[in-house]
Amino acid sequence: MYVKLFLARSSVKGALLASLVLATPMACLADTNSEKLGMLRTIRPNNDTDVKAASSAVKQLSESSSIDLIDVLKSMKGASPLGKNWLLGLANTLHRKSPETTKDALRAFLTDASQDPEARYTVFRWLTDGDAELKAKMLDGMLQDSSPELRFEAVAKVLNSSETLETGVLQTLLEASRHPEQIVAIIGRLGKQGVTVNQSEHFGFLDTWKLIGPFDNVGSRSFDKEYAVETDYADGKSLAGSYNGKSGAVQWVTETTADAEGVVDLAKVFNNEKGCIVYGVATVELPADLDCEIRVGCINAQKVWVNGKLVIANEVYHTGMQIDQYAAPVKLRAGTNQILIKVCQNEQKEAWAQRYVFQARLCDSTGKAIATK
Amino acid sequence: MRSLLYSFLAISLSAPLGIGLCVADDWKQFRGPGALGASAGSRLPEQFDGASLKNVAWKTAIPGRSVGGAIVVGEQVITTTGDGMDQRRIRLLSYDAKTGKQRWEQQLVARGRPYCHPTSANAAPTPASDGERVYAFFSSNDLACVDLQGNLVWYRSLATDFPKAGNDVGMSSSPVVADGVVIVQVECQGDSFAIGINSTDGTTAWLIERPRKANWSSPTMVKMPSGKSGVILQSSGDLVAVSPSDGKAMWKMEMGCSTTPSAVADGNRLIVPSGGLTVLDLSSAGAPSQLWKENKLNPNACSPVVSSDKVYVVNRTVLVCGDAFTGKVLWQLRIPDAKQIWSSPVIAGNRLYLFSMEGACFVVDISGEEGKIVETNQLGDEVLGSPAVVGNAMYVRGATTLWKIASE
């Protein structure tokens, strides 16, 4: 209708009027699009109202002639993880409609490290899909990329390129890599070249723990039971004394693990006790306040507190364990920081259900170990 | 015309009453129409080979890893994969059934835990479709709905909604869809539930608590005596039928069921992996009565398959055939050289196709009084998902490859 109006009027006045009329609905559309993108960015978990609105918004935006793919990608920055997936799904739809026309803009977006890492990795995939040569070329400059996925691919590309990489190359990869499997592989290959890397130190595993137990967990009933160790810890009391354990008084013992993956073997320390709970305390000294992550691997049910705050809790027994299995952001402070872990063992009799182990480390948000003592 | 003939044959020969049996040419969920794993009118090649491509119509490499099956909706073969770092990139992919050429892709990022045993994969469940949309579920408890052009319709992160849901061995329960509701069963040591999600907009239709024990079995759709749809949920402690529209229990039985193979509804008989196999009578209202139980028919990982009044189970590397009406064991057949079998078998005509994890396909003649392996074919890729059979073609989702097997 607006186009028809424009064509019908030949006077300057008419053209100006038509331009205004044209501009206004486009601006409105842009505002509407912006509102919808904003809603998708902040969609709340477990909220049907939001899900319904998001479903409607995605449909309308997918069909909109005024939506810009780059705007959608940019809107992923700062969005919630949930919101990012809605936006990513929309972006995929828009990209499929015009895969060729936006390549220059996509390249510019990819090189802008300030944009959302997941959005940038998605763009990387679009641009390199089916073009191995271009993919390899692009990855050459991405060893230090802020996107964990791009960095992972860049490390993998070099690591998988040859079985006989030079020591210097492997050391560069080790410095760049943040993914546990890659790190372990690189350290293994360095070891074959006679270069020893302290793997536990590289990851930042907490290797020295004060342990106390066993406390009763028969019937797996004590995951949420607050033994005196917990209440004393919460009250800021000293944890140096003895406590009433499962079969009498128990006292703290110090255990330092030499395991390359920082694994503390509670079955070994506590004589394969079953139906029990053991607490562990590690202390970390820091020169200044620090935002970081605590990452735990544990085959048993566990809770973790950092400086008195519960940060991890998983009542799960014998369903797998790996480095960085559970992670939580934490604020450490200048001076002494205390980490308390509660590890619960059940009474399963299967051979694969006898492990009673955990590992824990402190690192930055990318997975790089933080300096502690 | 030919497809109509297949439809007629598939319906009349196997007489299933399961839900989703609209067009026999489609294989829209785990184990296909009625979840029977059978296509009576199909004729597949007995010989095929992944290396020489004999009777391979096409194959396509798929990045990442999957242990779920593919589905076939119209001219599209649709599958999922998880790739990239920790298999966090979850992808839905569609291929042209005739050419194998990719039609579309949708890609999201796992918001739940993608970790699993190396044997499994984040893309473990088989997707489902109602012919209008596709519903893809992942071990990480991400649930995505796309239309048949791959456009995102809605998305749910059940791991965000229920943070304690998950199992680091890997989850694998496949979704089903009926009466406009997608049903997903999530059972583990943490948050355990079955949820019905409205298929058009992703909102929650209902939610029920389930036992907090690990469970990998999938819901099964049945037709109740009233004509209404029912969803069978099994666990190590119960067997329950719920209404797909509101999640209300139609009946519940306290019984220990297997937590890997899933139940099969064959007409008015419900075949449940429980104490071997337990067969229940669904012909009357209320909780069903037991028709028979046979512990020698013991499916340890693969779901049972039913065809021509016989039921077939795989116990480790032994194929066992029983009478579907009495439970009497009719014959047993050891599958030689198969180390592990996870893929639920399928039946086409009088041939049963059984894949080992190593990618060997054993073609078993089931027409006689004894089962007989007539061919052993190698694909050269791990196969853990159950194949889809449509017309005279079989679509096999290997861990890294999608194959169309059809006569040249």
Cβ <8 Å between A88 and B108: yes
Pairing of strands B89-96, B102-109: antiparallel
Token reading at A101: 């026309």
Q: Measured between alpha carbons, how far is A7 from A4 in angstroms, rounded to an integer?
A: 5
Nearest residue, CB atoms, A85 vs list B111, B116, B161: B111
Token reading at A266: 């509670």
Chain position carrying tokens 């390129």: A161
Conformational region of residue B391, where left means phi above 0, alpha means psi within -120 to 50, and beta covers everything else = left
Mean per-residue pLDDT over chain A, rounded: 91
pLDDT of residue B30: 96
What chain B residue is nearest to A326 in terms of C-alpha separation? B113
Name every chain B residue with its beta carbon within 8 A of the beta carbon of A325.
115, 168
pLDDT of residue A30: 64
Angle value at C-alpha B347, between B341 and B349, nearest 5 degrees? 150
Phi, psi of B314 (to 5 degrees): -115, 115
Yes or no: say if B27 and B72 are a contact pair by the CB < 8 Å rule. yes
Domain positions in chain A = 2-127, 132-197, 205-363
Nearest residue, CB atoms, A320 vs list B111, B164, B168: B168
Nearest residue, CB atoms, B168 vs list A51, A152, A319: A319
pLDDT digits (tens, 9 = 90+) for B29-87: 999 998 999 998 999 999 999 999 999 999 999 999 999 999 999 999 999 999 999 99
Amino acid making up residue B76: Q
* ipTM for the complex shown: 0.91
Cβ <8 Å between A319 and B214: yes
Name every chain A residue with its beta carbon within 8 A of the beta carbon of B172.
none
| Contacts within 8 Å (CB) and 24+ apart, A29-32 | A29/A64, A29/A66, A30/A66
Token reading at A9: 């009027």
Per-residue burial over B52-62, b = 16 or more CB atoms within 10 Å of its CB, e = otherwise: eeebbbbbbeb
Chain position carrying tokens 């029920």: B208
Token reading at B53: 């491509």
| Chain A contact probe: residue of B93, B154, B158 with most A CBs at under 10 A | B154
Cβ <8 Å between A55 and B201: yes
Does A54 reach chain B within 8 Å, measured CB to CB? yes
| Contacts within 8 Å (CB) and 24+ apart, A121-130 | A121/A147, A121/A149, A121/A150, A121/B84, A122/A73, A122/A88, A122/A91, A122/A92, A122/B107, A123/A73, A124/A150, A124/A153, A125/B107, A126/A95, A126/A99, A127/A103
Yes or no: say if A217 and A337 are a contact pair by the CB < 8 Å rule. no
Yes or no: say if A142 and A151 are a contact pair by the CB < 8 Å rule. yes
pLDDT digits (tens, 9 = 90+) for B113-157: 999 999 999 999 999 999 999 999 999 999 999 999 999 999 999
Q: Measured between alpha carbons, how far is B389 from B346 in angstroms, rounded to an integer?
A: 8
Query: How many other C-beta atoms are found inside a 10 Å radius of the C-beta of residue A230?
Result: 18
What chain B residue is nearest to A85 in terms of C-alpha separation? B108
Does A62 reach chain B within 8 Å, measured CB to CB? yes
Yes or no: say if B311 and B347 are a contact pair by the CB < 8 Å rule. no
DSSP B53-80: -TTEEEEEE-SSBB-S--EEETTEEEEE
Amino acid making up residue B136: A
Q: Is the dihedral of CA B384, A126, B102, B26 positive or negative?
A: positive
Whether A16 shows a pLDDT value over 50: the answer reads no
pLDDT digits (tens, 9 = 90+) for A29-58: 667 899 999 999 999 999 999 999 999 999
Cβ <8 Å between B152 and A52: no
Pairing of strands B351-355, B264-266: unpaired
Yes or no: say if B71 and B29 are a contact pair by the CB < 8 Å rule. yes
What chain B residue is nearest to A59 in terms of C-alpha separation? B153
What chain A residue is nearest to B204 in terms of C-alpha separation? A48
Cβ <8 Å between B85 and A148: yes
Cβ <8 Å between A325 and B115: yes
SS3 A150: helix
Cβ <8 Å between A82 and B157: yes
Does A157 reach chain B within 8 Å, measured CB to CB? no
Query: How many other C-beta atoms are found inside a 10 Å radius of the C-beta of residue B101?
Result: 10
Compute the nearest-CA separation of A286 from chain B (Å). Answer: 31
Does A89 reach chain B within 8 Å, measured CB to CB? yes
At B247, the pLDDT band (50, 70, 90 cuts) reads very high
Q: Exposed/middle/buried for A30, CB within 10 Å: 0-12, 13-18, 19+?
A: middle
R_g (Cα) of chain B, nearest Å: 19
Phi, psi of A77 (to 5 degrees): -65, 120
What chain A residue is nearest to B151 in terms of C-alpha separation? A93
Whether A81 shows a pLDDT value over 70: the answer reads yes
Whether B2 shows a pLDDT value over 70: the answer reads no
Yes or no: say if A83 and A90 are a contact pair by the CB < 8 Å rule. no
pLDDT digits (tens, 9 = 90+) for A257-297: 999 999 999 999 999 999 999 999 999 999 999 999 999 99
Looking at the DSSP bridge assignments, the partners of residue B156 are B143
The residues near A153 (Cβ < 8 Å, ≥ 6 apart) are A124, A139, A142, B84
Name every chain B residue with its beta carbon within 8 A of the beta carbon of A59.
153
Yes or no: say if A324 and A367 are a contact pair by the CB < 8 Å rule. yes
The residues near A59 (Cβ < 8 Å, ≥ 6 apart) are B153
Report the pLDDT averaged over residues B172-193.
Answer: 96
Cβ <8 Å between B150 and A316: no
pLDDT of residue A244: 95
| Percent of chain A with pLDDT strictly greater than 70 | 91
Name every chain B residue with its beta carbon within 8 A of the beta carbon of A52.
201-203
Yes or no: say if A77 and A116 are a contact pair by the CB < 8 Å rule. yes
Nearest residue, CB atoms, A89 vs list B106, B117, B214: B106
Cβ <8 Å between A322 and B85: no
Q: Measured between alpha carbons, how far is A192 from A95 in angstroms, rounded to an integer?
A: 46
CATH architecture assignment, domain B2-406: 8 Propeller (2.140)
What one-character DSSP code corresponds to residue B188?
S
At B5, the pLDDT band (50, 70, 90 cuts) reads very low
Whether A205 shows a pLDDT value over 50: the answer reads yes
At A217, the pLDDT band (50, 70, 90 cuts) reads very high
Q: Which of the listed CATH numbers 2.60.120.380, 2.40.50.180, 1.10.10.10, 3.20.20.70 matches domain A205-363? A: 2.60.120.380
Q: Measured between alpha carbons, how far is A149 from A121 in angstroms, rounded to an integer?
A: 7
pLDDT of residue A373: 60
Cβ <8 Å between A92 and B106: yes
pLDDT of residue A253: 96
| Percent of chain B with pLDDT strictly greater than 70 | 94
Cβ <8 Å between A45 and B84: no
Does A84 reach chain B within 8 Å, measured CB to CB? yes
Token reading at A338: 């205390």
Pairing of strands B239-242, B249-253: antiparallel
pLDDT digits (tens, 9 = 90+) for B278-298: 999 999 988 999 999 999 999
B175: cis peptide before it, omega within 30°?
no
Name every chain B residue with its beta carbon within 8 A of the beta carbon of A45.
157, 160-161
Cβ <8 Å between B154 and A45: no
Compute the nearest-CA separation of A131 from chain B (Å). Answer: 14
Name every chain A residue with its beta carbon within 8 A of the beta carbon of B204.
48
pLDDT of residue A25: 55
Whether B21 shows a pLDDT value over 50: the answer reads no
Report the pLDDT averaged over residues B383-392.
Answer: 97
Does A149 reach chain B within 8 Å, measured CB to CB? yes
SS3 B44: coil
SS3 B245: coil
Conformational region of residue A281, where left means phi above 0, alpha means psi within -120 to 50, and beta covers everything else = beta
Compute the nearest-CA separation of B23 from chain A (Å). Answer: 28
The residues near A32 (Cβ < 8 Å, ≥ 6 apart) are none
Nearest residue, CB atoms, B157 vs list A85, A96, A320: A85
Report the pLDDT averaged over residues B263-283.
Answer: 95
Write the CA distances from A216 to A40, A320, B15, integer angstroms.
47, 23, 56
pLDDT of residue A269: 97
